[in-house]
Homo-oligomer: A and B are copies of this chain.
Amino acid sequence: MVGIRAKQKEKTRRALINAALNQLSPQTTFSSLSLREVAREANIAPTSFYRHFQNMDELGLTLVDEAGLTLRQLLRQSRQRLADGGSVIRISVEIFMDFISQNSSVFRLLLQERSGTSKEFRMAIAREIEHFKSELTDYLHAERDLPEWLAEIQADAMVRIVFSAGADALDLTAAERAAIAEQTIIQLRMIARGSDTMKKEDK
């Protein structure tokens, strides 16, 4: 039996998390967010914050974890749609763009704190991106029959392009986002082509 007490605690914990997420915007970084602001938005006394997190940093790391979780969902979603057939690259890019427009706050957090002040943050985010990259590497190695070193380099390039394009797409309208998506697709194909010729030469 989950006590009514524990349930309530979890509830205001979520309130804090959501309060933080809601405040994130093009005009507000997570690191520019104060404990008091977050507590206010969550309808809680500033001092009560400490019942749930030691620090703002701890809250932030929780958010990064959430972001990672969402990214994994993204991957699962891709794999499923891929099974139905279609261009791998197009589907992946479209799903990614959908993700950032639906989870813009979380994605913004990742982008901002990737070059932020906390080493712990940066490392946590690097880990999430690394995970992303290694899944892609495996795919290229297994499905596309690339030697591992090439697969890794190609995956790295692709992830860099996609995240960078995502960053630019973040604050744009749906139409502009679609345009960036198209360009990104071409760029990824460019990379795939180049990688392919390299593979042939290597043999």
Contacts and interface: CB of A to CB of B under 8 A. Distances in A.
B153 A190 contact: yes
Interface in A143-191: 153-154, 156-157, 160-161, 163-165, 167, 183, 186-187, 189-191
Interface in A95-133: 108, 111-112, 114-117, 119
Chain A contact patch, size range: 35 or more
Of A29, A112, A117, A160, most buried by chain B (CB within 10 Å of CB) is A160
26 contacts: A26-B117, A26-B119, A27-B119, A28-B117, A32-B117, A114-B167, A115-B115, A115-B167, A153-B183, A153-B187, A153-B190, A156-B183, A156-B187, A157-B161, A157-B187, A160-B161, A160-B164, A160-B165, A161-B161, A164-B164, A189-B194, A189-B198, A190-B191, A190-B194, A193-B194, A193-B198
